[in-house]
């Protein structure tokens, strides 16, 4: 058995509280970590979701009730965490050995948790691995963590999104509102036209290119074993060069260098930028909060150069410290099985990750509504979609990329130099981890 | 009391109106958004100030999504406990630091100054582990404890006691009153203004705190209001009207409390407790 | 001017025990406060101090690395930017947070009809949610926002307040001063209330002008409070986070040029992959400078009061 970083550090006789934190974490982890997942599901488990209680309380209570009926020896306690600071909450629980038995994670969260040895490797656990074939290979792959030899969460709901555009702004600039850009080249052409014809007043995009943009543009982001970033390859430099031109002629919002996904969305809602990427469920937000925009809303596919759209994956992980692993695995599978995933995806515009689900008529037949149209289009996109954001890319590395990109756009550095610097800084951080 | 001349009064009101315009804008906008009807566009630019179809529906909407009353009760328990412990702890400590001579006083002052400067974010995890070892995690007691006596409040009380003229207490010393009597009967009533400030600050601190209760509480039934209201930022969509109504619900008690307590700021030594 | 203390029963009553152990009583007074502060602030802080010398991650305790984090800091371009910004914040914000709230307190101190309403209204920025406040400030300072509207009326602008690194920093400073108005106002109000009224009245009778009364009566009377506010707001300014974070974005403004020290702590240390060791080292620097600032301000006060 490999020595975990926790016990190695505890052995190093470190004074004071730091070691106390550690010892207790080890104690509770080790003491209960031997429970077998292959036994009969029994005992009390906790199940933690991320901000789903407010809108889906009845759904989850129904789900738990049904599971408890099928497994009379299991008692499920449902916890739900609010939107903000979820990572901090998970970190505190993982460190103190109080992680819930079944926990809602995205791959960027499960990676550090799994690396610290707090999550169950589902590929190595027979009781869990036998369900692998129920999920689409992309979704299972999306929860498989580089360097950690397996998947650490049952795939749950997926999301992807079209590109939304503002027809009114297109019209004002003399562009055909029924001809949105389909590729990156068309996107840049449209943005140039919008900027020129509006005299630099109408910006097309609210943000600078994110790591997903580099991915969709066809840039190789990392080497095969995810130890070095590679987005400074010529194709990445080319993309940044094009953004730089756009920035120069007013194709990007004046606050593009500081906008976040939230503030970008805000600019689109305020009709200050013409195009913004989004998700299927944003439709509802537009309808309710910006009815004027909704009337002029155009929807098109997000451009990508390599036929592989981007997707976001959610999963349910099982804590390695769980005292009732059999029950936890059974419940995590139950929530993510085909029937229950499809049930959830009928409630809100997300997509199931189980095999065959997206062939259902609900996701293939356009029912004539805007929602139906976006749903079918998104479901089509999802086949072959990948999660571009590397799980090893921490928030800090994303900030580094954004700030180096900004320096290139401001002309303080050449695009090439900026990306080289971003890669160098990120690689250094990776090496320390 | 000398009467202010008319022009001075006018000037005061004028200035107050100017400051009013600068200070309450965001609050009013928040209030206005919370009354906006479901069909209203809230992303027009520039933002529309008055609701076209005013409604109270957002407030009941908040209550539908989040058990507001339960959470508010939890918050109230935490905040009141924090006010009580801070008033007692900070005035005792502040009095000792300002009025009593003893060896180690400087070290004690330094301890509070250092505590004031400790970066809270960096110690949250250690605090959480401590609560777990005390088996207090997931309880409201654990929410109160770390802020039970704020270093800032201690320093505020010390400043207030230090500013009292010494003669006030001297007479009592001659009368043979011991230190506890002087503290309770003379010093404490003289600094009611600062006590009110401490009460407000500790109420506000406990009521507004987000990260610590989030970390230490797991069970949604025990959440405090700020943590619970964060549910309004939905995962798939959010309704800014509900968020606005939520913030008003969270802030209203603070404004009411301030309005109630602010009269105590004006009852210092000079006026004593003449008026009931 | 003998006060009439409210008649109150002491819960325990005067006890002989206390009187005979006089040397102990100061520590009894201090006990609750010290206990809380030592147990929940100072003791946990030791783990931060320790982590500053390790390469700890959020979920991995890491190994002892000596001074490496501090050496890395010297090579970290963002650290120097952040140090500059936090330092500027103290220099430019503190004079305003010491003076403006005092003037505001004097303005609303008089009993005038309706003054209660104004006092409460002036307090609302303190309680209003920072997120909402920054949203609205964002709108006001936008290219097409209120401030640029006014500038345009006078034939100037538009000024890209939120696109330029310096204007962004100054806007955040203005927001900080604004948000502190009501907070420090009540500290001053309490201090003014604790001051014997005779002082004010004597000066008024003297017929001293408003400015003279301010400098020769009010300022001396609340001087120690001004020092306290100065010390507290210096520390708060040096540790500024929310205002800059929300106006300039999590990246710290264009190309990170508006990053402050605490933003850097947050950026490097939070999240499950956070570099807790490095962030702790940064925290220690912030702590040390803040302590220095606080002691300097308090020392300056003592020097002045003895002279």
Condensed to tens digits (0 to 9), the pLDDT of residues C28-77 reads: 999 999 999 999 999 999 999 999 999 998 888 889 999 999 999 999 99
- At C113 the pLDDT is 85
Cis peptide preceding B46, ω within 30 of 0: yes
- A84 interaction partners in chain B (CB closer than 8 Å): 210, 214, 230, 233
Entry field: residues in chain C: 307
The interface pTM score, or ipTM, of the predicted complex is: 0.86
User: Does the beta-carbon distance from A269 to B43 stay under 8 Å?
Assistant: yes
| Burial annotation A130-144 (CB, 10 A radius, 16+ → b, else e) | ebeebbbebbbebbb
3-state secondary structure of C156: coil
Calculate how close chain A gets to B179, using CA atoms only, in Å: 38
**pLDDT tens-place string over residues C189-245:** 888 876 666 666 666 666 667 777 778 778 888 888 999 999 999 999 999 998 999
Task: Report the Cα A261 to chain-centroid distance in Å.
Answer: 13
Tokens of B126: 């250690």
CATH architecture of the region A9-160+311-382: 3-Layer(aba) Sandwich (3.40)
Fill in the DSSP letter of residue B258.
H
d(CA A218, CA C203): 78
Calculate how close chain A gets to C271, using CA atoms only, in Å: 5
For C194, which of B15, B113, B163 is closest by C-beta distance?
A: B163
The candidate with the shortest Cα–Cα distance to A136, out of A359, A370, A288, A327, is: A359
Calculate how close chain B gets to A131, using CA atoms only, in Å: 27
- At C92 the pLDDT is 97
Instruction: Parse chain C into domains and list their residue ranges.
Output: 68-306
For C8, which of B184, B259, B268 is closest by C-beta distance?
A: B184
- A95 interaction partners in chain B (CB closer than 8 Å): 125, 128-129
- C280 interaction partners in chain B (CB closer than 8 Å): 122
Q: Which residues of chain A fall short of a pLDDT of 50?
A: 1-34
Among C251, C252, C277, the strongest candidate for a mutation testing the A interface, having the largest count of A CBs within 10 A, is: C251
**pLDDT tens-place string over residues A308-349:** 888 999 999 999 999 999 999 999 999 999 999 999 999 988
For A54, which of B65, B133, B214 is closest by C-beta distance?
A: B65
The candidate with the shortest Cα–Cα distance to B120, out of B144, B146, B143, is: B146
User: Does the beta-carbon distance from C29 to B255 stay under 8 Å?
Assistant: no
What is the pTM for the complete model shown? 0.87
User: Does the beta-carbon distance from C63 to A88 stay under 8 Å?
Assistant: no
| Burial annotation A407-426 (CB, 10 A radius, 16+ → b, else e) | bbbbeebebbebbebbbebb
Task: Report the Cα A50 to chain-centroid distance in Å.
Answer: 13
User: Does the beta-carbon distance from C44 to B123 stay under 8 Å?
Assistant: yes
Tokens of B214: 């989030």
- A88 interaction partners in chain C (CB closer than 8 Å): 270
Calculate how close chain B gets to A326, using CA atoms only, in Å: 23
Calculate how close chain C gets to A432, using CA atoms only, in Å: 8
User: Does the beta-carbon distance from B113 to C190 stay under 8 Å?
Assistant: no
Calculate how close chain B gets to C242, using CA atoms only, in Å: 13
d(CA B267, CA C251): 47
User: Does the beta-carbon distance from C256 to A395 stay under 8 Å?
Assistant: no
Q: Is the dihedral of CA B155, B158, B162, B168 positive or negative?
A: positive
- Residue C161, pLDDT > 60, answer yes
The candidate with the shortest Cα–Cα distance to C197, out of B270, B165, B265, is: B270
- Name the closest residue on chain A to residue C143, using Cα atoms: A254
3-state secondary structure of C270: coil
**pLDDT tens-place string over residues A94-145:** 988 899 999 999 999 999 999 999 999 999 999 999 999 999 999 999 999 9
Task: Report the Cα A173 to chain-centroid distance in Å.
Answer: 34
Average pLDDT over residues B262-271: 56
Within a 10 A sphere around the Cβ of A307, how many other Cβ atoms?
Answer: 8
- At B271 the pLDDT is 35
Calculate how close chain B gets to A274, using CA atoms only, in Å: 15
- At B77 the pLDDT is 96
Same fold, A9-160+311-382 and A163-308+389-432: yes
User: Does the beta-carbon distance from C29 to B244 stay under 8 Å?
Assistant: no
d(CA C285, CA C290): 8
- Residue B269, pLDDT > 60, answer no
- At B266 the pLDDT is 61
Alpha helices (H) along A42-118: 53-70, 86-96, 107-115
User: Does the beta-carbon distance from A91 to B227 stay under 8 Å?
Assistant: no
d(CA B72, CA B143): 14
3-state secondary structure of A157: strand
Those residues whose C-beta lies under 8 Å from the C-beta of residue B218, and which sit 6 or more positions away, are: A46, A79, A93, A98, A100, B137, B138
User: Does the beta-carbon distance from A55 to B66 stay under 8 Å?
Assistant: no
Tokens of A84: 């903000």
User: Does the beta-carbon distance from B231 to A51 stay under 8 Å?
Assistant: yes
- Residue C10, pLDDT > 70, answer no
Percent of chain B with pLDDT over 90: 39
CATH 3.40.640.10 for domain A163-308+389-432, yes or no, is no
User: Does the beta-carbon distance from A406 to C256 stay under 8 Å?
Assistant: yes
Tokens of A329: 């695995």
- Residue B40, pLDDT > 80, answer no
The CATH number, out of the four listed (1.10.3720.10, 1.10.10.10, 3.40.50.2020, 3.40.640.10), of the domain defined by the range C68-306: 1.10.3720.10
- B107 interaction partners in chain C (CB closer than 8 Å): none
Residues A181/A242, Cβ–Cβ less than 8 Å: no
- At C22 the pLDDT is 57
- At C12 the pLDDT is 37
Calculate how close chain C gets to B175, using CA atoms only, in Å: 14
**pLDDT tens-place string over residues C67-83:** 999 999 999 999 999 99
What mean pLDDT, rounded, does chain A reach? 87
For A53, which of B132, B211, B231 is closest by C-beta distance?
A: B231
Among A92, A257, A259, the strongest candidate for a mutation testing the C interface, having the largest count of C CBs within 10 A, is: A257
d(CA C167, CA C178): 16
- C253 interaction partners in chain A (CB closer than 8 Å): 257-258
Average pLDDT over residues C102-126: 87
- C132 interaction partners in chain B (CB closer than 8 Å): 26, 29-30, 244, 247
Neighbours of chain A (3+ CB pairs under 8 A): B, C
d(CA C305, CA C36): 32
User: Does the beta-carbon distance from A16 to C275 stay under 8 Å?
Assistant: no
For B111, which of C34, C139, C283 is closest by C-beta distance?
A: C34
- At C260 the pLDDT is 96
Alpha helices (H) along B134-276: 140-144, 151-162, 167-174, 179-181, 188-190, 192-208, 211-216, 225-229, 240-261
């Amino acid at each position: 058995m490999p020595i975990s970083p926790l016990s190695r550090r505890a052995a190093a006789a470190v004074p004071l509280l730091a070691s106390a934190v550690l010892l207790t974490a080890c104690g509770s982890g080790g003491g209960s970590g031997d429970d077998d997942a292959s036994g009969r599901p029994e005992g009390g488990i906790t199940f933690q979701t991320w901000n789903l209680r407010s809108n889906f309380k009845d759904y989850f209570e129904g789900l738990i009730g049904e599971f408890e009926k099928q497994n009379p020896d299991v008692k499920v306690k449902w916890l739900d965490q609010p939107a903000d600071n979820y990572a901090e909450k998970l970190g505190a629980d993982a460190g103190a050995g109080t992680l819930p038995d079944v926990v809602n994670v995205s791959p960027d969260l499960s990676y550090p948790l799994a690396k610290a040895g707090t999550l169950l490797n589902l590929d190595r656990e027979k009781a869990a691995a036998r369900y692998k074939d129920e999920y689409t290979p992309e979704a299972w792959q999306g929860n498989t963590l580089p360097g950690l030899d397996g998947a650490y969460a049952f795939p749950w709901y997926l999301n992807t999104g079209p590109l939304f555009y503002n027809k009114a702004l297109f019209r004002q600039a003399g562009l055909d509102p029924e001809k949105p850009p389909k590729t990156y080249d068309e996107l840049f052409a449209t943005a140039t036209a919008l900027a020129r014809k509006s005299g630099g007043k109408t910006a097309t995009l609210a943000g600078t290119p994110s790591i997903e943009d580099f991915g969709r543009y066809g840039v190789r982001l990392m080497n095969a074993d995810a130890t070095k970033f590679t987005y400074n390859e010529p194709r990445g430099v080319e993309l940044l060069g094009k953004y730089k031109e756009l920035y120069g002629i007013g194709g990007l919002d004046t606050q593009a260098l500081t906008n976040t996904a939230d503030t970008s969305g805000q600019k689109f809602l305020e009709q200050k930028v013409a195009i913004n990427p989004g998700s299927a469920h944003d439709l509802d937000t537009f309808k309710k909060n910006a009815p004027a925009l909704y009337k002029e809303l155009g929807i098109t596919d997000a451009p990508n150069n390599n036929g592989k759209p981007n997707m976001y994956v959610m999963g349910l992980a099982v804590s390695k410290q769980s005292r009732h692993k059999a029950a936890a695995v059974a419940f995590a599978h139950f929530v993510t099985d085909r029937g229950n995933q499809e049930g959830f995806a009928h409630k809100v515009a997300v997509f199931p990750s189980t095999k065959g689900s997206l062939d259902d008529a609900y996701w293939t037949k356009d029912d004539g509504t805007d929602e139906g149209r976006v749903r079918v289009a998104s479901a089509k996109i999802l086949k072959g979609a990948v999660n571009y954001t590397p799980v090893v890319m921490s928030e800090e590395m994303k900030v580094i990329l954004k700030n180096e990109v900004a320096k290139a756009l401001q002309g303080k550095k050449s695009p090439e130099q900026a990306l080289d610097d971003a890669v160098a800084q990120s690689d250094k951080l990776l090496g320390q981890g | 009391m000398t009467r202010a001349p008319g022009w001075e009064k006018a000037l005061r009101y004028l200035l107050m109106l100017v400051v009013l315009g600068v200070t309450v804008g965001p609050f009013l906008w928040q209030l206005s958004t919370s009354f906006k009807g479901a069909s209203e566009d809230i992303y027009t630019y520039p933002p529309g100030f008055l609701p076209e179809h005013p409604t109270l529906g957002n407030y009941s909407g908040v209550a539908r999504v989040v058990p507001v009353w339960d959470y508010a009760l939890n918050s109230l328990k935490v905040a009141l406990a924090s006010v009580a412990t801070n008033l007692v702890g900070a005035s005792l400590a502040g009095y000792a630091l300002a009025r009593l001579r003893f060896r180690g006083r400087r070290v004690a002052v330094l301890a509070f100054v250092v505590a004031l400067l400790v970066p809270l974010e960096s110690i949250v995890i250690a605090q959480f582990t401590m609560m777990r070892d005390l088996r207090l995690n997931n309880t409201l007691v654990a929410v109160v404890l770390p802020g039970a006596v704020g270093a800032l409040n201690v320093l505020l009380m010390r400043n207030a006691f230090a500013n009292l003229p010494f003669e006030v207490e001297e007479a009592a010393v001659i009368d043979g009153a011991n230190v506890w009597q002087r503290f309770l009967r003379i010093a404490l009533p003289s600094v009611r203004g600062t006590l009110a400030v401490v009460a407000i600050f500790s109420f506000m601190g406990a009521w507004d705190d987000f990260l610590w209760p989030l970390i230490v509480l797991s069970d949604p039934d025990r959440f405090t209001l700020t943590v619970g209201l964060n549910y309004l930022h939905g995962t798939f969509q959010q309704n800014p009207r509900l968020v606005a109504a939520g913030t008003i619900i969270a802030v209203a008690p603070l404004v009411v409390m301030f309005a109630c307590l602010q009269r105590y700021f004006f009852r210092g030594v000079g006026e004593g407790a003449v008026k009931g | 001017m003998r006060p009439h203390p409210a008649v109150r029963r002491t819960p325990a009553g005067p006890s002989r025990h206390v009187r005979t152990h006089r040397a102990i009583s100061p520590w009894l007074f201090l006990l609750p406060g010290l206990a809380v502060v030592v147990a929940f602030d100072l003791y946990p802080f030791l783990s931060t101090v320790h982590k500053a010398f390790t390469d700890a991650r959020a979920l991995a305790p890491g190994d002892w690395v000596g001074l490496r984090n501090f050496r890395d800091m010297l090579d970290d371009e963002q650290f120097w930017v952040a140090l500059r910004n936090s330092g500027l914040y103290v220099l430019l914000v503190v004079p305003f947070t010491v003076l403006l709230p005092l003037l505001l307190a004097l303005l609303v101190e008089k009993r005038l009809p309706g003054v209660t309403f104004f006092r409460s209204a002036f307090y609302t920025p303190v309680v209003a949610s920072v997120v909402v406040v920054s949203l609205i400030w964002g709108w006001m300072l936008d290219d097409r926002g209120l401030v640029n509207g006014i500038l345009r009326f006078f034939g100037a602008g538009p000024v890209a307040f939120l696109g330029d690194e310096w204007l962004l920093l100054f806007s955040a400073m203005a927001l900080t001063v604004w948000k502190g108005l009501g907070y420090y106002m009540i500290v001053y109000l309490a201090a003014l209330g604790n001051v014997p009224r005779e002082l004010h009245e004597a000066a008024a009778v003297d017929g001293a002008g408003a400015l003279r009364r301010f400098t020769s009566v009010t300022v001396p009377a609340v001087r120690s409070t001004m020092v306290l506010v100065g010390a507290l707001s210096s520390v708060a300014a040096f540790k500024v986070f929310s205002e800059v974070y929300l106006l300039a974005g999590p990246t710290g403004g264009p190309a990170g040029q508006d990053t402050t020290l605490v933003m850097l702590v947050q950026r490097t240390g939070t999240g499950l992959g956070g570099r807790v060791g490095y962030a702790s080292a940064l925290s220690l620097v912030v702590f040390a400078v803040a302590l220095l600032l606080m002691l300097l301000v308090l020392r300056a006060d003592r020097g002045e009061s003895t002279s």
